[in-house]
């Protein structure tokens, strides 16, 4: 899809227009103190699918949820005393906390990659704050660049990568930190440094004691790191042309099913539906049942969907 990407000024009118685009499920890049983020409504499955599409990400790795205040953060994540203390000290600022996801959070499962944890932060940038306040809800926002390219620290960097692929860029000047946020895992047990970034590890260690160096949620280095990753309990058969006896069929495009990822073969819709349909099919199939799923093209969002399906279909121990 080719859009004509608007450049919006950091004025009340610009923020209001950006918030309107976000409410309609569109994407707006905005400055934070770390790098420019590619924002979409974190509660809207289609908007979040569009983030992966615009960036050309080959995987559904989880995204950071940006909020305007601690009260909004507490709608999505469970804070204990330690987490509240850390938030009080470092927010707003370049520190992302990974915390248990609330059951009633209402975020799109694509944001958390269907994990039981959520990464959340409150950015320290007047433009990001004004946008979050105008929008009034949570924004999923990875860096506003094509996957694999350098993170953008100026509006023109965003334009050169994503022009035509997103609805708007909010002008926000140059990013002060220029580094990604530090990611601190507080979801279970000892605090983990999941990614170094704008807040030095030493500063956190002075408060929390030695930090375990944690892996990437997508490339688990320790057993169990992906344990809470949702995989259907039913067996999953890929590239199916139709169901075998007893299978729940998930269709795509011309291949029909009991459920369909997208009847007209739209990959954004398929990505938006993916985790919801896997759960529905799993319920329909029952614990000893089986699910068959139609083939999806290995292009655009199809790559990320197929990556997720291959991992869900892999034998589990």
Q: Note the residues at the interface with ligand AMP (CB under 6 A).
A: 61-64, 98, 112, 115, 117-119, 142-143, 180, 183, 194-195, 216-218
Measured from the CB atom, the residue of 133 and 160 that comes closer to Mg ion is 160
Contact 157, 145 (CB under 8 A): yes
The item of ligand AMP, Mg ion, none sharing an interface with residue 137, based on CB under 5 to 8 Å by kind, is none
Measured from the CB atom, the residue of 68 and 151 that comes closer to Mg ion is 151
For the bound state, the minimum distance from the C-beta of residue 131 to ligand AMP, rounded and expressed in Å, comes to: 17
Measured from the CB atom, the residue of 194 and 249 that comes closer to Mg ion is 194
How far apart are alpha carbons 247 and 281 in whole angstroms?
9
The item of ligand AMP, Mg ion, none sharing an interface with residue 112, based on CB under 5 to 8 Å by kind, is ligand AMP
- Structural tokens at position 106: 């209402």
Contact 36, 47 (CB under 8 A): no
How far apart are alpha carbons 168 and 284 in whole angstroms?
41
For the bound state, the minimum distance from the C-beta of residue 35 to ligand AMP, rounded and expressed in Å, comes to: 8
Measured from the CB atom, the residue of 224 and 287 that comes closer to ligand AMP is 224
The item of ligand AMP, Mg ion, none sharing an interface with residue 262, based on CB under 5 to 8 Å by kind, is none
Measured from the CB atom, the residue of 61 and 262 that comes closer to ligand AMP is 61
How far apart are alpha carbons 8 and 169 in whole angstroms?
6
Contact 123, 32 (CB under 8 A): yes
Position among 143, 153, 181, 273 found at the interface with Mg ion (CB under 5 A):
143
The item of Mg ion, ligand AMP, none sharing an interface with residue 156, based on CB under 5 to 8 Å by kind, is none
What is the secondary structure of 31-70 as a DSSP string? --SSS-EEEEETT-HHHHHHHHHHHT-SS----EEE-SSH
Token pair 């197929």: residue? 306
Residue ranges that bind Mg ion, judged by CB under 5 A:
143
């Amino acid at each position: 899809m080719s859009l004509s990407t608007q450049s919006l000024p950091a004025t009340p009118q610009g923020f209001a227009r950006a918030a309107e685009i976000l409410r309609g499920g569109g994407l707006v890049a905005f400055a934070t103190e770390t790098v420019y983020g590619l924002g979409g409504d974190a509660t809207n499955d289609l908007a979040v699918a569009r983030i992966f599409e615009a960036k050309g990400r080959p995987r559904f790795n989880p995204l950071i949820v940006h909020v305007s205040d601690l009260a909004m953060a507490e709608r999505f994540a469970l804070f204990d005393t330690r987490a509240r203390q850390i938030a009080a000290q470092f927010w707003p600022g370049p520190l992302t906390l990974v915390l248990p996801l609330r059951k009633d959070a209402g975020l799109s499962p694509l944001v958390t990659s269907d994990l039981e944890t959520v990464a959340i932060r409150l950015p320290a940038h007047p433009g990001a704050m004004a946008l979050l306040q105008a929008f009034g809800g949570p924004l999923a926002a990875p860096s506003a660049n094509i996957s694999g390219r350098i993170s953008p620290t100026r509006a023109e960097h965003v334009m050169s990568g994503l022009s035509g692929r997103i609805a708007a860029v909010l002008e926000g000047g140059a990013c002060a930190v220029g580094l990604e946020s530090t990611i601190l895992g507080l979801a279970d047990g000892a605090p983990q440094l999941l990614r170094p970034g704008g807040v030095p590890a030493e500063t956190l260690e002075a408060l929390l004691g030695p930090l375990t160096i944690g892996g990437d949620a997508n490339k688990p280095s320790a057993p169990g790191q992906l344990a809470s990753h949702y995989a259907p309990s039913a067996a999953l058969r890929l590239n199916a042309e139709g169901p075998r006896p007893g299978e729940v069929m998930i269709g795509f495009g011309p291949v029909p099913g009991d459920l369909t990822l997208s009847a007209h073969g739209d990959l954004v819709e398929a990505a938006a539906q993916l985790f919801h349909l896997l759960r529905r099919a799993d319920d329909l199939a029952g614990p000893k049942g089986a699910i068959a799923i139609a083939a999806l093209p290995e292009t655009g969002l199809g790559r990320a969907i197929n990556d997720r399906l291959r991992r869900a279909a892999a034998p589990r121990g």
